[in-house]
């Protein structure tokens, strides 16, 4: 009798220790980001999005993608932010908008990656030509802040922004 009870308990163990939910991953990733642990936040989002159950929930997946974008921006990884925005614009066309580009560019600049911020802003301007004036204004703000080096000024001039 005891052996059967032990076998039943061991057999039921995997169901009692369920996998993390999308909400669990989101909470942990956001806490890591809030604690300035950018690599951990990115790792948690990556792990979460490998789960079929998380990918199946588009809203939860988008919330995790937002955490990844913010983590990359705060980690001064502007080129990665731009790459992710390009990828996400297809899957989430209404969520990936001009204001998201500008917001992430600002966070990237604040983290010290001005060239990355420029890349994000120019990509946003190309994707949303109707918002051209707002992107020019954001680029002008970079110039006014005095954070552009001569190479960045030269690049912006070649692109027609200065």
CATH topology of domain 78-162: 1.25.40
Model pLDDT for residues 84-135, shown as the tens digit of each residue: 999 999 999 999 999 999 999 999 999 999 999 999 999 999 999 999 999 9
Q: Is the pLDDT of residue 145 over 90?
A: no
With a cut of 90, say whether residue 49 has pLDDT above it: yes
Please determine, for residue 148, whether its predicted confidence score (pLDDT) is greater than 80: no
Residues 156, 118 contacting (CB under 8 angstroms): yes
Q: Which of 19-33, 38-52, 78-92, 136-150 is the least confident region?
A: 136-150
Domain boundaries, the chain: 21-75, 78-162
What is the structure's pLDDT at 95?
Answer: 96
Buried-state track 84-118, b at ≥16 Cβ within 10 A, e below 16: bbeebbeebeeebbbebbbbbbbbbbebebbbbbb
Instruction: Average the pLDDT over 35-62 and give the result.
Output: 95
pLDDT (0 to 100) of residue 155: 81
Q: What average pLDDT score do residues 58-66 get?
A: 96
Give pLDDT, residue 10. 44
DSSP state of 159: H
């Amino acid at each position: 009798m005891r052996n059967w009870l032990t076998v039943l308990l061991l057999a039921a163990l995997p169901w009692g220790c369920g996998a993390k939910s999308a909400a669990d991953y989101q909470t942990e990733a956001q806490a890591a980001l809030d604690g300035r642990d950018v690599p951990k936040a990115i790792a948690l989002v990556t792990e979460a999005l490998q789960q079929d159950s998380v990918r199946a929930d588009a809203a939860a997946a988008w919330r995790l993608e937002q955490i990844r974008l913010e983590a990359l921006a705060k980690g001064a990884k502007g080129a990665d932010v731009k790459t992710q925005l390009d990828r996400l614009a297809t899957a989430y066309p209404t969520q990936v908008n001009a204001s998201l580009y500008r917001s992430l560019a600002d966070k990237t600049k604040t983290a010290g990656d001005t060239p990355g911020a420029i890349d994000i802003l120019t990509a946003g301007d190309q994707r949303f030509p109707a918002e051209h004036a707002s992107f020019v204004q954001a680029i002008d703000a970079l110039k006014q802040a005095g954070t552009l080096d001569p190479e960045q000024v030269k690049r912006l001039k070649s692109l027609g922004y200065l």
